[in-house]
A and B are shown apart, each in its own frame.
Chain A
Amino acid sequence: MRQKVMITLCGLAAALLARNLYVILLRLPDEAAQGAIYRIIFFHLPSWFTSFTAYVLAGVASILYLVKKDTRYDAFAVSVTEIGTVFTGMGLVTGMIWARVIWGIWWTWDPRLTWAFICWLVYAGYLMLRRATEDPTARARNSAVLSIFAFTTVIITYKAIDWWRTQHPGAVLSFRTGGGKIDPAMEAMIYWNWLALMLLAAVLVMVRMKQEHVQGEIEALRRHAHAL
């Protein structure tokens, strides 16, 4: 059943991505000021949305773990965090490519970029903490606490473009600006591609959770073998 859901989601993601790529590359016109390179926005923004969604879910799952002590929440938290870190990396890399073309530099120490990088580092620390902790209960508990602390960096990264006047462009999407900053067709495309990336992320999270489950079983068997 789980396998079927995964394959279906994977197929949906692939079909949607193919359709999105067709519209992005062939249907939508070049942007007036930036030309063809603006199309990276259709991957840059959705990557960030996906990673932020993942971190929100990780935070919620971590709180739930601390309240209910159910290891399934912990497995979910680590899975979404890992996938979130990958999408953060994707957001950073697409941003850097875009910056190289438009600003002429790969990186600038602008608050939005700096906070995004800090955010990635903090969640990388979370994954390293998990590796370093051997006891499964302590691992789940400590990483849940860390995840809650780490979430503060996500909030600041999200709000950075409002709090500082920076080189990174301000908000363009209508839910933050009230509209008028971006063509509705282009904005709709950003959401469509977000949906495609979310589907992809969901499949990856499911694969990762399966691994967590198997790992838990192996650890339990190992403890059992030691006891014997």
Chain B
Amino acid sequence: MTFLRQSLTMAAKDLRAELRTKEAINASVAFALVILLLFSFAFDPTAEQTREMSGGLLWIVFAFAGALILNRSFARELPNDCLDALVASPVSGAALFFGKCLANAILLLAVEFISLPVFGVFYNVWWTQRFWPLMHVLVLATWRLTVIGTMFRALTVNLRLREMMLPVLVYPMVIPALMAAMQLTTVLMAGEAIGADNLIWLRLLAGFDIIFTALGLVLVETVLVG
């Protein structure tokens, strides 16, 4: 119980700090809209073609926009040595990590909920056909992006070259989640159910969410404290 309460306190702190400054979420939403706009220059598809590509397009937007949110997650703690204070506080590293993941996931989901209707309107795609299954996929894949992203930000927080290292480390690790999410989102956007041949993607998504969360919770203390 203590763990959950501490995590929620940490998440609430991060969300409050973000909602007061809005530095990450504003940038992230604006960036998402810019990429959505750029896609219209990159190709000029029919509605049918867009539907076929929708999963890929959306998750590229979410992955890049998410990077902006995740970048702030630990960078926010660097001025005034806040991170040292957090590590020294009686909150465990795992609770700190879990709380940050929760806050990042909520922020990224917010960006996704803003981007989806915009995508639907701009590209004439009726995205609500399979609303609840799509929500499941969104939550599972977003959770993976945030768990990996938060963990690797914790890993690189003290590096001089962290802005350069992060994309190199994070994107290959999240490609599996993105592949699964793209595949499933495309199917759901087309109004089809997740069939037997796509079930493996859903299983992978859920299974590795659990594995990565467990690994993160176990290892984050070592990364932050040493």
Contacts and interface: CB of A to CB of B under 8 A. Distances in A.
Interface of A: 66, 114-115, 118, 121-122, 124-125, 128-129, 132-135, 137-138, 141-142, 145-146, 148-150, 152-153, 156, 163-164
A178 to B, nearest CB: 23
Contacts, number: 68
Contacts of B172: 118, 121-122, 125, 153
B165 A145 contact: no
B176 A156 contact: yes
Contacts of A150: 173
A120 to B, nearest CB: 9
Interface residues of B, number: 28
B108 interface: no
B171 to A, nearest CB: 8
A118 B168 contact: no
User: Chain B CB within 10 Å — which of A124, A137, A141 has the most?
Assistant: A141
A141 B176 contact: no
**By DSSP majority rule, is chain B's interface helix, strand, loop, or mixed?**
helix
A68 to B, nearest CB: 13
B204 to A, nearest CB: 8
Contact of B165 (A129, A134, A152): A129
B57 interface: no
B152 to A, nearest CB: 8
Interface of B: 148, 151-152, 155-156, 158-161, 164-165, 168-169, 172-173, 175-176, 179, 200, 204, 208, 211-212, 215, 219, 222-223, 226
A121 B173 CA distance: 9
Contacts of A134: 160
Given A118-B175, A125-B172, A146 B155 contact: yes
B215 A133 contact: no
B212 A152 contact: yes
Nearest to A164: B200
Given A125-B169, A132-B161, A149 B223 contact: no
A142 to B, nearest CB: 5
B168 A125 contact: yes
12 contacts: A115-B176, A122-B172, A124-B168, A125-B172, A125-B173, A132-B164, A132-B165, A145-B151, A146-B155, A149-B148, A153-B172, A163-B200
A134 B172 CA distance: 23
